[in-house]
Chain A
Amino acid sequence: SQKIEQNSEALNIQEGKTATLTCNYTNYSPAYLQWYRQDPGRGPVFLLLIRENEKEKRKERLKVTFDTTLKQSLFHITASQPADSATYLCALDPSGAGSYQLTFGKGTKLSVIP
């Protein structure tokens, strides 16, 4: 069956360090892989999208890599700040026409400690 796994439920890091979150998937052929941020009591907010033919995408302090051979995406936040504390979700858009479902992992709760 299809499965999306995010490496850990919670991750604590020191302010200023780089946070690295992992998303692994099985039995998918994703066209796109996306990362979202969710704050408590709020809906997820889109951060980055990477296509199956892209290796890396950057946006300010954020970087996403996508390895379709390993079936893995890494999400990096450099120079982390306490304001980066949130739950981060990865999501997969499957390839194939008419595939409308965006499936989410359970998320990793990141805490950046001052």
Chain B
Amino acid sequence: SQTIHQWPATLVQPVGSPLSLECTVEGTSNPNLYWYRQAAGRGLQLLFYSVGIGQISSEVPQNLSASRPQDRQFILSSKKLLLSDSGFYLCAWRQGDRGTLYFGPGTRLTVT
């Protein structure tokens, strides 16, 4: 069966510090991978998606970036965090470009 992992589960970082969140998927190959952010009181915002290794599409211009160095690994990064980067970050995967999305457990990021 397929499993999706995210780490860390929680993170508290000062403004201006770097960020690296990691997501890995097991039990499937060539998944489409997604990063969403959920800020307090707001809906799920799609940040990035990837249809293959090295292929990243950005939905929202901001100080975040994403990379997919391996088929089942998706990384979200920032060189300098802003207060507005605080939120609940969710990685997700699915097969194909439509259908059920499977979410990871999420990372709660607080920028202080």
Contact = CB atoms under 8 A, between A and B. Distances in A.
Interface of B: 32, 34, 36, 42-44, 46, 49, 51, 57, 59, 88, 90, 92, 94, 97-106, 108
A32 B46 contact: no
Most buried by A among B36, B42, B103: B103
Interface string A74-113: 0000000000000001010100011111111111000000
Contact of B98 (A31, A36, A41, A43): A31
B103 A32 contact: no
B97 A100 contact: yes
Nearest to A51: B98
Interface in A28-70: 31-32, 34, 36, 41-46, 49
A79 to B, nearest CB: 25
